[in-house]
Amino acid sequence: MATVARDRLRALIDTVVDSLDDDARGEELARRVHFSRFHFDRLLASALGESPGAFRRRLLLERAAWELGHGAGVTEVAFRAGYASLEAFSRAFSRAYERLIYSKETWTASLAGREAPGRQGNSIDCLRRRLEDAGTEFAQRVREIRDRGAWDTAFVDALCDPPESFTYGGMVAHVLTWSAHRRHVLIGALRSLGAADTGSGDPIEWERRPAA
């Protein structure tokens, strides 16, 4: 039974992923997997925590981010993502990624002992520059933690209100997985298979749970 449920969820997800470059929507996607629109929407929303339409839009924006990071032009990427104008794409892209980038900027500031970063520009070019700067510094900090073998060492994040203590390893796992699509898919799959105590999937949360 578990295998059937897992295979069914995989088929539903694959149907949405395979539709990114065609105009299929709602009823057509459901028909491809032999479901009614109601059951298709309900099953995916239950597993992923978002509607098929929201899931598809997020996949398109994630692909757009990858393409922009590999040198594709903004206009080309915007139209491939299904947006009729650069303005609409820029607004959607900024909403989706500014918070993620600001979070990484804040973690790097905390590790370096700096004050919280101020809000900066959110144009696509600015977001790209901010991500490169924060990503480069964050990677360097993680390499230093690795070289010291300090994964289990605790530090105080003074930028939290009130300040909180984290381990370096828990913090790195949080940054790498918290906003990743695969976390949402995994938690949804576990819940669909009957797991009742998955929590949010945050490694920091799991680390802080008392041992059974």
pLDDT per residue over 82-116, tens digit each?
898 988 998 888 888 888 888 889 999 999 999 99
- Checking if the pLDDT of 7 tops 80, the result is no
Neighbours of 25 (CB within 10 A): 13
Residue 98 lies in a domain: yes
Instruction: Name 66's Cβ contacts closer than 8 Å, sequence gap at least 6.
Output: none
Whether 31 and 115 share a structural domain: no
CB 185, CB 44: distance < 8 Å:
no
Distance CA 131, CA 128 (A): 5
CB 166, CB 150: distance < 8 Å:
no
* Structural domains in the chain (count): 2
Question: Domain span at residue 162?
Answer: 86-179
Whether 152 and 206 share a structural domain: no
Instruction: Give this prediction's pTM.
Output: 0.62
Question: How sure is the predictor about 124, in pLDDT bands with cuts at 50, 70 and 90?
Answer: confident
Residue 168 lies in a domain: yes
Distance CA 158, CA 111 (A): 9
pLDDT per residue over 125-147, tens digit each?
888 889 889 999 999 999 999 99
Whether 90 and 161 share a structural domain: yes
Whether 52 and 26 share a structural domain: yes
pLDDT given for residue 44 in this prediction: 85
- Write the single-letter amino acid at 130: R
pLDDT per residue over 9-34, tens digit each?
788 888 888 888 887 788 898 899 88
Whether 174 and 189 share a structural domain: no
pLDDT per residue over 146-205, tens digit each?
999 999 999 999 998 899 999 999 999 888 777 665 666 667 777 777 777 777 677 777
Residue 73 lies in a domain: no
Residue 67 lies in a domain: no
Whether 94 and 31 share a structural domain: no
pLDDT given for residue 179 in this prediction: 66
Residue 5 lies in a domain: yes
Whether 134 and 99 share a structural domain: yes
Range 67-77 average pLDDT: 87
pLDDT given for residue 141 in this prediction: 94
Residue 72 lies in a domain: no
Residue 80 lies in a domain: no
Distance CA 119, CA 149 (A): 33
Whether 104 and 170 share a structural domain: yes
Neighbours of 76 (CB within 10 A): 12
Range 37-54 average pLDDT: 85
pLDDT given for residue 143 in this prediction: 95
Residue 165 lies in a domain: yes
